Amino acid sequence: MSRFGLFTGAVVAVLMGTTVAAHHSGAMFDRTRKITVTGTVVQFQYVQPHSWIDVKGVGPDGKEKTWAFEAGAPIQMKMVGLTPDVLKAGDKITITGHPLRDGRSAAAFIELTLPNGKVYNTRPPAGYPGAPGFGPPPAAPARPATPPAN
């Protein structure tokens, strides 16, 4: 096989691999609605590609059930301060999310509140590198008033 054929085959293999590993859509969540559940953490799965917070509590329909809240990747959760040492099974929380469109008891995590009033949400805290409002915007490089002499 020619070098071109090997190169083309390698490129196709890489592209197919990235398609398989592509991230899924969030279209299954109804972003026009929010649900809030107050209950007990069943488990906090701090895993790739998404963390999960399972909560047993009373949902908007008044019935007790277990809700699964899809959250960010561990690095995203760390950025907002929500790590495994903060949230443990048995903790009482109030959690809000965008529910699934099909009515199953799952949602996309928006925010949770601990009994002490501490709130965690999907936005990094002010002052965190990369967060909105972290420091002044970068200045444009200064340009000389006149071109340098050769």
pLDDT at 49 over 60: yes
Q: CATH number, domain at 91?
A: 2.40.50.140
**Residue 86 maps to a domain:** yes
**Residue 103 maps to a domain:** yes
Of 46 and 11, which is predicted with more confidence? 46
**Residue 117 maps to a domain:** yes
**Residue 104 maps to a domain:** yes
Tell me how many domains the chain contains. Answer: 1
Residue span of the structural domain in which 45 resides: 35-121
Rounded to the nearest 5°, which phi and psi values hold at 67?
-110, 140
**Residue 69 maps to a domain:** yes
pLDDT in tens, 93-125: 999 999 999 989 999 999 999 999 999 998 766
What are the Cα distances from residue 85, in Å, to 2, 61, 93, 99, 109? Answer: 55, 31, 15, 26, 18
**Residue 85 maps to a domain:** yes
How would you classify residue 21: left for phi > 0, otherwise alpha for psi between -120 and 50, otherwise beta?
alpha
pLDDT at 30 over 60: yes
**Residue 64 maps to a domain:** yes
Q: Supply the pLDDT for residue 133.
A: 41
pLDDT at 70 over 90: yes
pLDDT at 7 over 50: no
Of 68 and 142, which is predicted with more confidence? 68
**Residue 128 maps to a domain:** no
Only one residue has tokens 């007990």, namely 40
How would you classify residue 91: left for phi > 0, otherwise alpha for psi between -120 and 50, otherwise beta?
beta
Residue 75 C-beta-side C-alpha neighbours within 13 Å: 3
